[in-house]
Amino acid sequence: MQGVGFRPLVYRLATALGLSGGVRNDSTGLVVEVEGPVALIERFREALRQETPPAAVVSGHLDEWVPTEGTAGFEIWPSDAAGRRTTLLLPDLATCAACSAEIFDPKDRRYRYPFTNCTQCGPRFSIVLSIPYDRAATTMRQFAMCAPCAAEYADPSDRRFHAQPTACPACGPQLALWDPTGTCLADRDKALRRAADTVRRGEILALKGLGGFQLVVDARHDDAVRRLRRAKAREEKPFALMAPDLDWVRSAARVSVVEERLLCSPQAPIVLVERREDGGDVAPSVAPGNPNLGVMLPYTPLHHLLLADLSFPVIATSGNRADEPICTDEREALERLRGLADVFLVHDRPIARPIDDSVTRVILGGEQVLRRARGYAPLPIALPTPAAPILAVGAHLKSAVALTLDAHAFVSAHVGDLETVEAAEAHQRACEDLPRLYACVPVATACDAHPDYASTHIAMRLGRPTIAVQHHHAHVAACMAENGVRERVLGVAWDGTGYGTDGTIWGGEFLLAEPASFERFAHLRAFPLPGGDAAVREPRRAALGLLHALWGEALWQQADLAPVRAVEQRERRVWASMLAAGVNCPATSSVGRVFDAVASLAGLRQVTRFEGQTAMELEFALAGIDTDDQYPFGIAKSGEMAPWVIDWAPLIGSFIEDVRRQVPVGFLSARFHNTLVEMIVAVAQRAGQERVALTGGCFQNRYLTERAVSRLEAEGFRPLWHRLVPPNDGGIALGQAVVASARWQEG
Ligand code: ZN
Ligand code: ZN
Ligand code: FE
């Protein structure tokens, strides 16, 4: 890894031991040559192993004996730009303790300087234009270093030795505060102090951060938060908070040791934590009806200074309107965030590519990334074998782009939902950015088999051969890849929607999968989805589809059931004839839609405000309930070669009985979740594969994942789950790249 202080460390260790030679960065990584007595070389090697800089990620090392050259002294050699560019780039890293001490020290020359950084922290991926990673190849190239900065940069014993983005108030980027017309209201520290005043007054601040704009408001101020919701057209989806410090997080939420470590890590992601009923002064509209809070700590000097001024939590949400990509340029922000922000806190360090905040949660005692961006992208996933160079364009929602190159898969930052022209353009830029950055010419483009995904259209336009990868196969391949598995697995791919190979909508799939191919071993019984895509926002539609598959026309007589009640008399005739004739009622095996149906039947919700809301609410409902109860279900196959079909009819029948007996919703939910887990176990027993990969958006559900893992382990299976890439469609690009590369290599 470049730019994490490895070379000064090597210099220090080698000179302390009196060894001669040199160190340089080249495109393959860090190269050290030392010459001296063997015993001292061994000591050097041991010391290097023990003193790896905290920000460094060592993906491998190789020792080799070479002829001596009789050099005197130890040198830091200039970087070598030749050769293949396989150097691993670092993600952006949160401000280190040494830098944050400096910005709060009135005697330091970087006192209150919001762009302070060093080799252990600061911007990387968000400023890099090409590699090898040198200042001239970053957006910092326009700032000439002053004499003191240049001296630090050249001093191997300094923390800022070859810190490419290093800067100070005399030579580096500066802040400005703009009104919505772009008129400058204040600059430098005054801009920062006035921006804080704005937030204190309950107004909306647009802040140019590390990888894009954020919208910042006082998280305690309900009117301000509601105004932000209206402006962003974001009805109920929870907002993430930036807390002033860890103590505040502890007061507002129950945070485990692992969660604290994650919050304070160099990645500094948003972490979903369980809020305390009593603690934390947070406006109700921040995360309505949600027992969790998404929290992060300040991760740049600018955020540290702002939050220290405020000393209360703020909402820090992506600077965009619903379905648009995050803004990175201040002029563009004035246009696109017009009417949304009251003032703009901007600076003159350009952002090379948009990078959102990452979202994680702790599952099975470890980190699981739900949205992979700042702090994680572009760290590669190591592949078990070298892959053909393939660019993968991802899915339609939560899209990202991936590139396989040698034994690595590089995954871009989260791009988002491709529902707008702006989002599709941002996606196209990400498709061009990754191969350019790694100087790689992909042999083919991998895309989803869905012909109508915006990403599929973009793939067609890239002018290379395209390889269509079935959605759930990609989910399973992503899970296999990040777990370093290439052998056949039983993949349990459960999500909302994916284009099946038989023209139906898949989403409750059990695939016997290898990187290059799969067989549909089992699936949920399909049911009609009245209105197709419209059903995603209306759980009652999924419920009526299930009930129609169960009872036909007779469903309309069950007037006590919530989904039936939720349909007005007028609509009823239309829906009844739609279902009876099977018009605009695509068949689906989606577990996501079964979650919807169950939430609707339980009376929890008939219309959703954001994707995944019902599944979240069902998961919330079972908090504190401890039961192994479950419902019955069927499993059968229609012929030797046919897949197993899991019949939800007994489950739904018993569930409705429970609803009619007014069993509390928490128990309904627990029994439902437990039944799903037993479906997985039943199929795993028939498939006879030791490894079972749990993947797809449904496995963002902690209860489902944790229980499935423990039940599978109890039955002697080896479950695999996601940690580094999201189980949701954010992981699709990685899976597509792996599948397409395997197929390419098989010819
Ligand atoms: Zn630092
Ligand atoms: Zn300077
Ligand atoms: Fe999916």
Distance from the alpha carbon of residue 143 to the mean position of ligand 2, in angstroms: 9
Distance from the alpha carbon of residue 89 to the mean position of ligand 1, in angstroms: 17
**HSE on the CB side for 237, CA within 13 Å?**
14
The topology (CATH level 3) of 175-347 is DHBP synthase (3.90.870)
Backbone angles phi, psi at 528, to 5 degrees: -80, 145
Distance from the alpha carbon of residue 110 to the mean position of ligand 2, in angstroms: 9
Widest CA span in the chain:
94
Q: What is the pLDDT of residue 382?
A: 87
- Domain positions in the chain are 6-76, 175-347, 372-486+729-745, 496-720
Among the bound ligands, name the one nearest to the CA of residue 735.
3
Chain position carrying tokens 């053909």: 388
Q: Do the two domains 6-76 and 372-486+729-745 of this chain adopt the same fold?
A: no
Among the bound ligands, name the one nearest to the CA of residue 506.
3
User: Is residue 87 exposed (0-12), middle (13-18) or buried (19+ Cβ within 10 Å)?
Assistant: buried
Q: What is the pLDDT of residue 630?
A: 97
pLDDT tens, 135-160? 999 999 999 999 999 999 998 888 99
Q: What is the pLDDT of residue 85?
A: 45
Among the bound ligands, name the one nearest to the CA of residue 149.
2
Distance from the alpha carbon of residue 92 to the mean position of ligand 1, in angstroms: 12
Enumerate residue ranges in the chain where pLDDT < 70: 1-3, 26-28, 59, 78-87
Among the bound ligands, name the one nearest to the CA of residue 507.
3
Q: What is the 3-state secondary structure (H, E, C) of 265-281?
A: CCCCCEEEEEECCCCCC
**pTM as predicted:** 0.92
User: Is residue 476 exposed (0-12), middle (13-18) or buried (19+ Cβ within 10 Å)?
Assistant: buried
Q: What is the pLDDT of residue 591?
A: 97
Rounded CA-CA distance 371/442 in Å is 25
Distance from the alpha carbon of residue 595 to the mean position of ligand 1, in angstroms: 46
Instruction: Tell me the sheet residues that pair with 695.
Output: 493
Pairing of strands 314-318, 518-524: unpaired
Distance from the alpha carbon of residue 165 to the mean position of ligand 2, in angstroms: 11
Q: What is the pLDDT of residue 1?
A: 55
The topology (CATH level 3) of 372-486+729-745 is Nucleotidyltransferase; domain 5 (3.30.420)
The topology (CATH level 3) of 6-76 is Alpha-Beta Plaits (3.30.70)
Among the bound ligands, name the one nearest to the CA of residue 116.
1
The closest alpha carbon to 731, from 301, 234, 262, 376, belongs to: 376
- Give the CA radius of gyration of the chain: 27
Which secondary structure element, helix H or strand E, spans residue 383, and what is its range? strand 381-387
Rounded CA-CA distance 368/364 in Å is 9
CATH classification number, 496-720, choose in 3.40.50.11890, 3.30.420.40, 3.40.50.300, 3.40.50.2300: 3.30.420.40
| Residues 6+ away with beta carbon under 8 Å from 581 | none
Among the bound ligands, name the one nearest to the CA of residue 53.
1
Distance from the alpha carbon of residue 695 to the mean position of ligand 3, in angstroms: 9
Rounded CA-CA distance 610/464 in Å is 35
Distance from the alpha carbon of residue 562 to the mean position of ligand 1, in angstroms: 56
Chain position carrying tokens 């937030």: 199
Among the bound ligands, name the one nearest to the CA of residue 697.
3
Q: What is the pLDDT of residue 28?
A: 65
Reading phi first (left if > 0) and then psi (alpha if -120 to 50, else beta), residue 273 is in beta
Distance from the alpha carbon of residue 590 to the mean position of ligand 1, in angstroms: 47
Chain position carrying tokens 């702002």: 306
Chain position carrying tokens 């300040």: 298
Among the bound ligands, name the one nearest to the CA of residue 397.
3
Q: What is the pLDDT of residue 84?
A: 46
Q: What is the pLDDT of residue 407?
A: 86
Chain position carrying tokens 């908070």: 241
Among the bound ligands, name the one nearest to the CA of residue 99.
1
